[in-house]
Amino acid sequence: MEPISLSDALASFTERWSPRIVTAVNDYDVRVAKVEGEHVWHVHDHTDEFFLVLDGELHIALREPDGERTVVLPKGSVFTVPRGTEHKPYAPGPTAIMVFEPTGTLSVGDRHDEVPAHVDATTGHVLA
């Protein structure tokens, strides 16, 4: 094992909404992604989803029992979407994020709306 530069990892790809696995912690992947525009409404039935904004700003729309709301995460912010909560990430401009999810978790969750062409439905790509 050698240290991994997150800036080098992010510089190694250009695709949006296509996470790269930078390392693993126990049974969790640590993934980085470049994001911009809308993702897709989706739910992870069995796991929480942790977000850290490395650069830019991420909005996460949530459908909760009391209704819909949106959390805004500026650079350096973290937020955990609880399991079973329908959510839709959105980035108003180029944004870099880190996500912690159990290895094998699909980026579009267990249930989701139709996946648009710009969203990669993946369990994460190996960092080149």
Mean pLDDT of 7-20: 96
pLDDT band at residue 128 under the 50/70/90 scheme: confident
Q: What is the pLDDT of residue 109?
A: 87
Q: What is the pLDDT of residues 18-52, one digit of tens each?
A: 999 999 999 999 999 999 999 999 999 999 999 99
Q: What is the pLDDT of residues 62-99, one digit of tens each?
A: 999 999 999 999 999 999 999 999 999 999 999 999 99
pLDDT at position 113 over 90: no
What token pair was written down for 105? Answer: 């978790």
| Share of the chain residues as helix, strand and coil, in percent rounded to the nearest 5 | 5, 55, 40
Mean pLDDT of 106-110: 90
pLDDT at position 1 over 90: no
